[in-house]
Amino acid sequence: MNTAPKVEYIVVRANAAEPRYMSAGSAGADLFACLDEAIILEPKAFATIPTGIAMAIPVGWEGEVRPRSGLASRFGVTVLNAPGTIDSDYRGEVKVILINHGRVPLTINSGDRIAQILIKPAIRANYVVSSELDKSERGEGGFGSTGK
């Protein structure tokens, strides 16, 4: 099991909520909207929602921002660039891009849970140009080539 990294954060807006695991078995910590006034997210519209916090994620780790299943299943609202990545060298405010795929407007209030964040190892690859690639069973088979 990985040793949990220490992720320091600062509050950059009044009334910001800390990331919070909502149960003992939660993989992701919830992120909360930090707004001066409610935002109405119309169907097919998207908006960047501030959380009011900035983080210092350790080198070798990343913050993976994912949708909340409750927002998706009840309202059709999800994270537009899911999963979003917060790099270890980013120190600005964490913001979440939400999109409403639902049929009705959704009001987002300050303090609402809008996404979840997982802190995961981020291994940097060494990219090496080559004259050819090794053969594999799949070969060049693209989208859908392994079955239905």
* Domains observed in the chain: 8-121 (2.70.40.10)
**Stretch 21-46: mean pLDDT:** 97
What is the percent of the chain with per-residue pLDDT over 70, rounded to a whole number? 98
Q: Mean pLDDT in the chain?
A: 95
**Stretch 26-44: mean pLDDT:** 97
Within 13 Å, how many C-alpha atoms sit on residue 87's CB side? 3
pLDDT of residue 85: 97
pLDDT of residue 14: 94
Please state, in angstroms and as integers, the Cα–Cα distance from residue 24 to each residue in 27, 29, 76, 89, following that order.
9, 11, 27, 29
> What is the model's pTM?
0.89
pLDDT band at 2 (very low <50, low <70, confident <90, very high): low
Q: Residue 102: what are its φ and ψ, rounded to 5°?
A: -80, -175
Give the whole-angstrom CA distance, residue 57 versus residue 103. 37
Give the whole-angstrom CA distance, residue 33 versus residue 55. 15
pLDDT of residue 143: 80
95 or 147, which is more confident? 95
**Stretch 78-88: mean pLDDT:** 96
Neighbours of 108 (CB within 10 A): 19
Asked if residue 1 has pLDDT above 60, the reply is no
pLDDT band at 148 (very low <50, low <70, confident <90, very high): low
- 26 Cβ contact list (under 8 Å, min separation 6): 116
